[in-house]
Structure 1
């Protein structure tokens, strides 16, 4: 845990995460929340003025819930979230982008989730390492996303893509903005139709491996963040991913 995070307190990260994704009236649903630090590849663009990033992660039934906390810096501007922007869009990695790679089994296929700070998103499916190689990648239509957002007015507008409780999203956003020097964005990855597909294949769809990561741009140069890095950085390299079971029991 970095000194910057200690000042904020890991408990507050987790409290904000729980406030967004879990109703306080159901305390038994409150999860074990893993808090993961994303790191820059050393020495690639490793500057002390680059922000620290942490991700709070939990599982809610068939959803993997992620809260990204990005330290505010004078040079860093993130687009405000907007429900009008919640739609599929390609090439989000060409600008500031929140990402998570997910393997739903021990097999070679995996998903890449991209979310812009403004709410645009996409989910891509790969059969093997970066395969197929078409660009933009093949869109996945079986998994889905929930994107709870608080608008700059601190009012969360419900949409079909955001079925999370408005009052808790608003409360969490206010807490994060008033008490911290951190941007926060939230997304839940839902297994969706993969459960039925895998059942027909005599497999169980579950969150097997995950790899949360972020790309930020400074002076048009990308800064890569991940828990662990290949050299050069390669988010698709699964030897640097971690079993969700291990994440779930990890204390950062």
Structure 2
């Protein structure tokens, strides 16, 4: 049985989440509301929302937890060539927070294999938009010839980043944004990106599952560190990924 949360109720301990033998491993609680304040409490405790339109807000803490160390991003030879081309081609740009809500909408509209509809509802967009306006959620965007062709968004607390979703309207456009994010976060001492759930796609990019207890302990320490400021960079952050064939996670 999961907990129903009224607006002032705290989250239950994450070890009360449903176990692997249940129909919903990792499901911890449900609530009616999704406020920015509730989101921040969740992320600081290793909890995230994931639900569909028409459902209550469902809160999860999966075990194991999928994470990506910035330096572990797996760069294929093809992607490495793409990154090199991105560096030298003025038609390509990398922008941060150019239009956070547009990135969220693009992620919501992108079809996913095995998934009907989207979990990025209007309620989700409103809540994360509020975090963005307060400097706690960011987008990284790939632009080609003045058009946004890929990107991602997530939440940043201290030296912890929680990845939420990506989209691509051009080959490797989301991977360019991810490489830029990883290089940027690595330069600022971020050791872990939360990827939430284990998938083959995330594993192919270098993500790995770790025990929930290890993840929560890392989150507790990382979110106490100073915030990253400013969130401002250009495509030069990719140089370390293309300098040699043996770059990060070659």
Report the TM-score range of the alignment, normalised by the length of the smaller protein: under 0.3
The answer to which structure has the higher helix fraction is: 2
**TM-score, normalised with respect to structure 1:** 0.28
TM-score, normalised on structure 2? 0.28
Question: Normalized per residue, which structure has more strand?
Answer: 1
